[in-house]
Structure 1
């Protein structure tokens, strides 16, 4: 079978090989007979003569067989190494990776020993690139998630928890672990588990905004509404025909209605900022013309309060990533507060440092009465006021610095406050 296979594979003409073999064996037998005849003619015993002839024939046949094997090896090897005959073995995880990349939520595929096998593009954006076969605990440090994964692996049942991240912005995820069962062996214990992160931050923010709005708005609106109701009742009753009371009370009612309007506007602005808090802006903004616009827009207020606003800005452009309108609102709030509450110092300085590869800092400095140390950590809370009467007399809503904080959080910037009683306050925005 071996000879026939080689002959057919090599030339496709088996008769050529058979004739060649018969010819080789004929020559071998003839040579053996000739040697035996010469030995007999030389006087050797007939038994020894036949013995020598047999050895010669066997040795010749063995040599032919070895030559045949050597000649067949390259052809067999070549046939075995032919690309068309090799089975194609595909990566079983390649198709799964394609499916995971189609998901818009972060997903990880891990083994039963908590080794990461795959991650999709959404997971790369959330966690960075995780090398294949790396330990899950090396990238996800949440004890709650790791414990849930281990419980799902041991019980071979789906599990889910709610997980919150506070940096770089507050985010809430529903994390679910599901065993992946092979369709060909559904009863076999699964060796792969899929972890999916579903972002529910938007829904949580909306729920919190609803509750905060009801609590804060009802508290802040109660006073002006009570005033309006009292003045309306007065104008309808005892002061119905008093023109001087009409003029006085209508002015107060207009002021209270304006206060409510400012409060609603600030609450709506804060709500819009919270909705997009985890979406950083990608525009480029030059702070030099922006701060000049802020100074010019607040110049009438500063002149009314007797305050001078001074800009200290480098000659070269100072460019940061951000949203122009939101950054304008930040510095308008800070400069306006400095003018109102630092009015005694008669001077407000806006100083810009950094740029050209260095972190950019914008400091708003007033020389007013300052803020007591116990109030500094809380001044960015909603409706928190250092002095309630002074804030309301200056038409403040208690939301200005909360808006500033949320805008800077979206811009991945920091607000620091340094203050000393009797010497003023410094608000610094660091990009």
Structure 2
């Protein structure tokens, strides 16, 4: 179920609560009517756990939290202490990085060297046009802040694995750009109400008269002015589990062996540690049982003296979506109270990453906006890499996660316009690069 807390200004602090099984469930769920303080939810979950009922909470839609989801103080405004951090991580091991109301990986103002940071950013709080504060609202910065707190011997409240979901309120998933139909039902059930296609004259007159701020004129056409235009057709959660049972899936949630996609059924895997020879590139799945000195996504490992760790990254395309363009490792680190981040391309569909810029060659992969078709080349069906961090520093605390990008494809708003026989709305992106993210791994500094 969903716990729908929020700050006093409307910032979203929502959580999805997942139970391991259906035995002994409480008669009444904990809700905002009990407390809007998320710590109250964690206390309730701790109480259930003491009675043998296992559950966890997954924060989501942090981009609309106005900086509150990953704040550095608690609900009362007090700094985190060890007990608070332990309680938070005990109950919230995962985070929803993408959904219909935007992607919460990072923001251009927080990651100004990441060329792909501006992906399906919904900048608003709720259904308003009030801008949400980026700092404290996006998970990459939270991962960095967590490293700094761990350096201070407090623990890491933001050692989060990644999942994604739709957050649709219609009972159906809208994760396909070519078939995006609604999140809220009647309020965005048509392209006209979603703002991707001009309103008919009678509707524009009615809305303009009743709610004049809810229409916008563009190139002689009247469109609905709605936050829905910033929605994305997202997303899906991936789980690496031993079997397809509720118990096994929940256990994978707990160990954070999960990944997220913006909609396509991509598959991603990450292992990190030592003793990873070139032979594992032939069959990355072997590491599930044959890499004793490596940890899977969601894990942490210790730095060895005089030895740089290795990272096995792997991704496979969705055969019903575009081919892969590049495989990346996103790194964050902290040292002496200062954190940083960088993005490395580690495998390319065409060519190899430049050793200076850590970027793949620029190769065009055009989309035909007349029918939204794309070519299969250039592009890859699978990308894999065995990578070592060129900036490895044994004294730093660090996280690493995989991000894989597809070639561009038509955005849902472009599909809406195409079906209506109209050009795409000029102030919206015409294409997107669908993607997937692995959960991070964490490297502990040399002690």
**Same fold? TM cut 0.5:** no
TM-score (norm 1): 0.21
By relative contact order (CA 8 Å, sep 6+), the higher-ranking structure is 2
Which one has the bigger helix percentage?
A: 1
Which one has the bigger strand percentage?
A: 2
CA radius of gyration, larger in: 1
TM-score (norm 2): 0.20
